[in-house]
Every structure is written in C-alpha cells, then in structure tokens.
Amino acid sequence: MSNPEMFARGHPLWAEIDLAALRHNVRLLGSLARGAEVMGVVKGYAYGHGNPASAKAMLEAGATRLGVARVAEGIHLRESGITAPIHVFTEPPPEAVGTIIDLALTPSVYTLAFARVLSAAADHRVASVPIHVKLDTGMHRVGVPAEEALDAIKELRALPGLEIEGIWSHLAVADIPDHPFTRRQVDLFNELSDAIDEAGVRLRYRHIANSAATMSLPASHMDLVRCGVASYGLWPGKAFIGTADLRPVLALRARVNLTKWLSAGERLSYGLNYKLTRAGRVLTIPVGYADGYDRRLSNRGDILLGGNRYRVSGTVCMDQFMVDAGDAPVEQGAIVTLIGGDGAERITAEEIADHIDTINYEVTARIPSRVPRIYLDEAPE
C-alpha cells in the first residue's frame, strides 16, 4: 500500500518495515551460526512486522525454514505462495490435522493423543508427515518430560505415517548470558539426543537455540537455530545491546490530526491530569491503545517531531493522545515518529518497553492489523 492509497483509506498511522534491515539481520545471525541452518520465526504476525513479506525477506536472506505458533499462520504463508518448510510450534486442535498434512506443515508433537490423531490422518491419506518432537528440558511450558522422552520416541516411531525428523526444546533464560540453567538445558538436551540416537532413531535436526543463544552460545547451535526477535533488530535482552550490528526493522509514524493554541492553566485528556504551565500549542496525535500504544505511556512516553522530543501530555485514549509542543510551529498533517529515528534522535522499542515494564517484542507484536504496514525495499518479483 503506497502512502496516497493509505491516506485515501483514512489511515493516519502506519508502520514502516525496512526489509533490507531484516535481510541484513538474518544474514548476520546466519554468520554467527556457521554450519547450522536458520529458521526465521514469524509467529505473531512476524512479531508485529507483518507477513508474508517478512517471511519472504527472511528466506531471501538465507533462512531455510519458517516457524509459526498456529496452523492459521501457516495457512496464511502457504496462501501467499511460500513453499519452504513451515514449523508449527504448538500442537493444534485435532480438527486441524488434515490441514497440516494437506499444506505440508511440519508439526511439533509432545503428546501421544495428538500424535495418534495425526498418524491416523496421515495413514488415511497415505502420507508421511515429518514431525519434530518437543522435549521439556526445564522450562515446563510444553514438551515431553525428559524422563519420558526415550519411551515417547519409541512409541512415536511405531505410529504409521509419522517420520521423526527432529527434536527440539526451548531455553528459559538464554537472554541472561552465561546463566548456568541454560548450560544445564543444553547438556540435558544433548544427553537425550544421544540416547535417542543409541536407540536407532536417526535425527536430521536437533535445535534448541533462540536468538539469544544464537548470539552468545555456539554450543547450542547444533543443526538449526530459531531466530525471531533479533531478526527484527530487537535485542534479546539488555545484556546484548550493542553486541552486534543489528538494525531496527520497524518504525511507527503518524500525522498530526489537529493543532490548537491553549492558555496556561488548561488541562488535557481524560482525568485532566496534565496542566499547561504556559500558553502553548497542543497537538492531537491519532494513535491510542487500540493501536498498541500503551495507556501507561501517558505523561511518560515521547514522540519525535522535527528531530526533537516531545512528551505525551495527559492520558493516552483508545485512538488518540495529546502533546504539549510549547511554541513549536507545528501544522496539521506534520509527521511524528513514535518508534524509529528522526534526525539524531531515536525512540526504540526497548525504550517504550522500559516505560511500561515489558519486553521490546511485546511492543511490536501488539501493533494490530488496523495499522497498515508499508514495506520498504521489497525485492522484485
């Protein structure tokens, strides 16, 4: 969607997605994990950056596989023409097994109940479905318990229509470099892998590394690394800031909806909790918590305009907030930046996350579909 088309549809807010930066980050992560394939993780609408454009850019940069959380996300990618392997990280409702097989999605398996339904559907279709068995090495979210892993593998191996292509697990504290629990998880995963191999099951893929481990723990790289947050130029944790040439992919911008001159003493927005200390120009920005711009940014977050910072003034509403711009000569339609750079100033997702006590990728993942994405540097078809 070009800017004229976007504005004609009444969109006052948009996200700019720099696909060149995305490709750069994926190539960088691939260089850190030499010998391992890169899976581009695009769940959650590519962490808010949008699909399928983000997925295609990752594949162009050398990723060989994609990762999603839900079957519906895999459907979206297949309908866009993507043919690369797509891994579904969570077991879906049993009604979705036919879709998994028909669209050649690669499911994660961690319960025998789901495996049996999948096997029956594969056997009925005379199909062979590659599966990746999720092992619980200590995070305890989903996965086959470590002490049951070998028996589960043997049972899965006996089910018709299923091919155990790989095993995987997830690291709980890899965002804290050198944490001893991460090493314990990797060691346990290797022990389970060796036991599975000794039982005669030849695994094509073993994978446990997320973005943080890809950047800091070569022993975790194995056959495949799963890179999500760092692919989008977001740091996996505060300890990683500045440790690599990651480039932010997303910028969030809007047009000033209205400007007004108010007298000293006037108060703004719901609750009237911001008071002008002198006469000044107040801007109405058509962005609110329905756009993922958190209400906790009230009187706390900044915007950029003309290379300068201005504070959110008063309560963030569902669709709008206000900014006291003092005597700055701002006109209606001026472009403001909520995430991204303007001149020498930059507002990062990390900065916003600090304001609202969360993580950077929640900031981008919460930007809803009503905010259009404009893709910069799209590769030619």
Return the active site residues.
43, 270
Query: For residue 13, how far is the Cα from the chain centroid?
Result: 20
Asked whether 263 and 269 are in contact (CB, 8 A), the reply is no
How many angstroms separate the CA atoms of 182 and 177, rounded? 9
Asked whether 300 and 22 are in contact (CB, 8 A), the reply is no
Q: Cα separations (Å) of 137 from 3, 162, 191, 202, 224?
A: 48, 23, 11, 20, 17
Asked whether 252 and 337 are in contact (CB, 8 A), the reply is yes
Asked whether 121 and 103 are in contact (CB, 8 A), the reply is no
How many angstroms separate the CA atoms of 314 and 323, rounded? 8
Asked whether 42 and 17 are in contact (CB, 8 A), the reply is no
Per-residue 3-state assignment (H helix, E strand, C coil) for 199-259: CCCCCCEEECECHHHHHHCHHHCCCEEEECHHHHCCCCCHHHCCCCCCCCCEEEEEECCEE
Residue 82 three-state SS: coil
The tokens of 218 are what?
């070569």
The tokens of 337 are what?
């930046």
Which parts of the chain fold into alpha helices (H)? 3-8, 19-32, 43-47, 53-60, 71-79, 97-102, 112-124, 149-158, 180-198, 211-216, 349-356, 360-365
Q: Which of 68, 69, 99 is CA-nearest to residue 84?
A: 68
How many angstroms separate the CA atoms of 142 and 144, rounded? 7
- For the chain, report the end-to-end CA distance as a whole number of angstroms: 16
How many angstroms separate the CA atoms of 79 and 86, rounded? 12
